């Protein structure tokens, strides 16, 4: 009787671990070319055009989405593989999502993965980090239409 019970427990453990592994396909990494089956789980608000630039060391990505949507943030690390940098967070009743990401490189690619039930969405975001001296130079340049007409 003990052997049957242990065999049953072992069989159930194997069955549920295989099922869990299939749901955890994108836990720690995700391919850059990953595609979702939905486009209405989250709407990225910042950056507005899915690309942005800043001279800061960090950047705030914000979005709105459906309640109970799980969101994870990945960063491109090389060889078209993105590694998890922000653990799964659940969008609450407000529908708001926001996270701060570090910008270690001059060009940073992030993948936002959203999941709600059987639906999932993948959004790629490009954030460029520019030097403060470049920003200062751009601010000091003034363009006057009269200067071009003279």
Q: pLDDT tens digit string along 77-101?
A: 988 999 999 999 999 999 999 999 9
β-strand 107-116 against 70-78: which pairing, if any?
Answer: antiparallel
CATH class of the domain comprising 28-131: mainly beta
Give backbone dihedrals phi and psi of 110, rounded to 5 degrees, phi first. Answer: -120, 150
What mean pLDDT is reported for the chain? 84
What mean pLDDT is predicted for residues 113-134?
91
Sketch the domain layout of the chain as residue ranges: 28-131
The confidence band for 23, taking pLDDT boundaries of 50, 70 and 90, is very low
The reported pTM is 0.72
Kindly report the three-state secondary structure assignment for every residue of 21-64. HHHCCCCCEEECCCCCCCCCCEEEEECCCCEEEECCCEEEEEEE
Asked whether the beta carbons of 97 and 62 are under 8 A apart, the reply is yes
Q: Decide if pLDDT at 28 tops 90.
A: yes
């Amino acid at each position: 009787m003990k052997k049957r019970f242990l065999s049953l427990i072992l069989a159930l453990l194997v069955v549920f671990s295989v099922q869990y592994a299939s749901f955890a396909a994108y836990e720690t990494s995700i391919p850059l070319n990953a595609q979702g089956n939905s486009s209405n789980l989250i709407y990225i608000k910042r950056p507005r055009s899915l690309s942005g630039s800043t001279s800061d060391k960090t950047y705030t990505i914000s979005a709105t989405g459906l309640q109970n949507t799980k969101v994870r943030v990945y960063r491109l690390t090389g060889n078209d593989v993105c590694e998890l940098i922000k653990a799964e967070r659940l969008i609450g009743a407000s529908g708001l999502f926001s996270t701060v990401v570090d910008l270690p490189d001059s060009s940073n690619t992030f993948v936002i993965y959203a999941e709600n039930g059987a639906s999932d969405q993948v959004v790629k975001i490009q954030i460029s980090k520019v030097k403060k001296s470049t920003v200062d130079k751009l601010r000091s340049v003034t363009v006057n239409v009269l200067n071009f007409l003279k």
